[in-house]
Amino acid sequence: MAKALSVLNLPAHVAPRRNHSRPSLSYRPMMVTMAMSTPNKNKSYWTSVHEDIGAHLRQAVVVKEPVEVYEPMRHFVFAAPVNMAPALCVAACELVGGHREQAIVAAAALHVMHAASFIHENLPLSDRTSLIPKSKPTMYHAFKPNTELLVADAMLPFGLELLASSDNPAGNNSGRILRVMVEMTRAMGSQGVVEGQYNELQCSQCDDDDRKLNGITDVEMTYETYKKKEGRLHACGAACGAILGGGSEKEIELLRRYGFYVGMIQGIVSRRLGPTEEIEELKKLAFKLREVNSFNDENAEVIFSLVDDNITHVLGFNLG
């Protein structure tokens, strides 16, 4: 490897354990993660959030001129797997006292950006295909590779355009929108999802000699990948929701940390590395965030249900 991957920056008792086994680096797509034993009211809440995000996307992403751009864009937006980061954006907004309409556009924009990164990971290019784990989430290729590449590139700025369109000078939210734009570009860029994708490719190419030379294990390398991908993405979603809802700096950072823990747990589960001691430690850290704060209402119960003991259960949801 050109550069050794660092161990994720978490407390020592949560850091990955070194071992000599070689767990699979492959993973399945995480759809809407929800405990199957969660009360119906919690399921109904998350379902309603995703329905609202999907409804906004159906209105915002329409087929128009140039059709050769917008037709595949709409297809890809609804073909990408759903995860909890956009829904966390809405839930965090409501938790700090905001209204759903304040965060729904940002949630939709975050899904569009996530969809673009998913397309880039699934381009049917011969020089990458051999590096992608066989059980990695895939998509139906309805368009040629060059179209998929160009449209995915167009979706990132389109997501920012959606977000910018929610700027309402009369509502005095311009500063919040700008801050959310910075949050999303950092999470999706070279220090977030893109870095995670790079690390994932490095994992696929790393052989035993590289591992011995760098003194790192598959587990540590994989942890670094989902720290940057799932961890940063979900942290971003929760923080953006708190910002848009008018939360205090303490609330914003608390929900950022909570989103990070949710993303980390999803990363472990989706790569079939758990249940593990790390998952249990992350759950404890997540629940401590609620204990030291005043989040005691019904919204808090719903959002903290994401780290229920049965988080490994997955409920599929289709935004289309």
- Residue 7 within a domain: no
- What does the pLDDT look like over 136-183, one tens digit per residue? 556 667 788 788 889 999 999 999 999 999 988 787 889 999 999 999
- Residue 15 within a domain: no
CA 32 centroid distance within chain? 11
CA distance 243 to 96: 9
Give the CATH number of the domain where residue 285 resides: 1.10.600.10
CA 276 centroid distance within chain? 21
- Residue 192 within a domain: yes
The domain total for the chain is: 1
Percentage helix, strand, coil for the chain under 3-state DSSP, each rounded to 5: 65, 0, 35
Identify the domain containing residue 209 by its residue range. 45-126+135-312
- Residue 97 within a domain: yes
Where does the pLDDT of residue 26 fall: very low under 50, low under 70, confident under 90, or very high at 90 and above?
A: very low
- Residue 20 within a domain: no
Burial of 269 (0-12, 13-18, 19+ CB in 10 A): buried
Where does the pLDDT of residue 272 fall: very low under 50, low under 70, confident under 90, or very high at 90 and above?
A: low
How high is the pLDDT of residue 62? 94
Using alpha carbons, list the distances in angstroms from residue 64 to 151, 177, 319. Answer: 14, 26, 20
Question: Which amino acid, one-letter code, is at 58?
Answer: R
- Residue 13 within a domain: no
Residue with token string 């109904």: 44
CA distance 193 to 213: 26
CB 219 within 8 A of CB 171: no
Task: Report the run of H or E that residue 302 belongs to, with start and end.
Answer: helix 298-303
CA-nearest of 286, 278, 285 to 14 is 278
- What does the pLDDT look like over 30-61, one tens digit per residue? 333 333 334 577 778 899 999 999 999 999 99
- What does the pLDDT look like over 77-136, one tens digit per residue? 998 988 899 999 999 999 999 999 999 999 999 999 999 998 888 776 544 444 444 445
CA 128 centroid distance within chain? 23
- Residue 2 within a domain: no
